[in-house]
Amino acid sequence: MHPSLLLRQAPFRSFFAGRLVSLLGSSMAPVALAFAVLDASSSGQDLGVVLAAHMLPLLAFLLVGGAVADRFPRRTVLVTAHLGAAFTQGAVAALLLTGHYSLPLVATIEFLNGALAAFTTPALRGVVPQLVAKSLLQQANSLLGSARNASKILGPSLSGVLVVAVGSGPAIAFDALTYLVAAGFLARLPLTGASEASQRSTVSADIRDGWSAFRAIRWVWVGTLSFCLLNLVQTGTWQILGPQLTRQLSGETTWGFVLSVRGVGMLASSVLMYRLTVRHLLRFGQLAGVLGALPLIALGARVHAPWLITAAFVAGLGSSVTAVAWDTSLQEHVPAHVLSRVSSYDDLLSYVAIPVGQLSVGPLAEAFGPFRVTAVAGVVSAAATLIPLASRAVRRLPHARPDSSARAADSCPAT
């Protein structure tokens, strides 16, 4: 099926347009916010407080966000969250443009913004199966992945240009505008009604039911534990030791190339996944995830810049395959009425490992040496993606085949 055919479906087209606009703004915001806080306060400590103020409520409210997304119409949740994000980012922009920067105010606003993101993420994962047939979920996720990866390449560069040209305040104001435009597109989605079962219970009961559903699906919790371990050893090592060791080996410019080429690999892979059909998508995604460990292993081995850049490109290819495979598998096999809640547990247990890894990598590098720690992190990362394959539930999970006429029945998965 050609991408244009999927985009001709009005509901998915509106959703895709909303996500594309929102992703572009979101990819620009971190660069603009970082420069804004540093320019206004000249303090790296202020920036750390602001970033933590955004991350903590995202983790704290994810389970509530999942329950709300299953309880109420997901269109309502998404539109409300995007309007709230437009307001909060607009408030930050107003403070900066009027010269009234205040760390407590900006941190409070970013706290609200992080809380809104906790409601957005589970609803987004749950809304895609409501818009397209089960047999087209991989194609839909591939298109969305392409938009996400393209925004990661273009957004930071565009944000840097805006910051230099007009300042941080207008750049953040642009991010607020993208949320507003995205809310307009999402408001067109024909999604109404809420779960009757959820309406007869409380939010706390919904959260408990979500935990029960999460535990009951073996391949989901096995995969989530894998992502938790992966984030624990990989993310902090890559973010903290990656630039340090690359600069030591070949200079700062190489690190920029590494990040850019990794993004290109992710984009190329997400495009490829639109066409690729496999019998066991989740198994294929876990195998491809091993490629994500290559840059850490290359850094630990002190390879020359061309090899490191090549490893980053290959890692980008594998990362997108894993992401598309995981999202598609969740949407194909987790019941719709608990999908957002199961996704929220998946996200929470995966994300909570990131700050732990970030805090641990510095002391470990001092104790054992940064190159050794990086190499070990790469090996453990590769193992973490392969461990779930020991479970038959992961290896044998079937994938719904796309129908060439785009009218495949939801009840015809591949075996």
What is the per-residue pLDDT across 226-246, written as a single tens digit (0 to 9) for each?
999 999 999 889 988 998 899
Q: What is the DSSP string of 90-133?
A: HHHHHHHHTT---HHHHHHHHHHHHHHHHHHHHHHHHHHHHHS-
167-192 pLDDT tens trace? 888 888 988 999 999 999 999 998 66
Dihedral sign for Cα atoms in the order 143, 148, 152, 157: positive
pTM given for the model: 0.86
Q: How far is Cα 343 from Cα 126, in angstroms, rounded to an integer?
A: 8
**Position 255 pLDDT exceeds 90:** no
- Asked whether 149 and 19 are in contact (CB, 8 A), the reply is no
d(CA 260, CA 250): 16
Phi, psi of 413 (to 5 degrees): -75, 155
**Across residues 248-265, what is the average pLDDT?**
85
Cβ–Cβ under 8 Å, residues 193 and 106: no
- The closest of 111, 140, 173, 110 to 15, measured between CA atoms, is 140
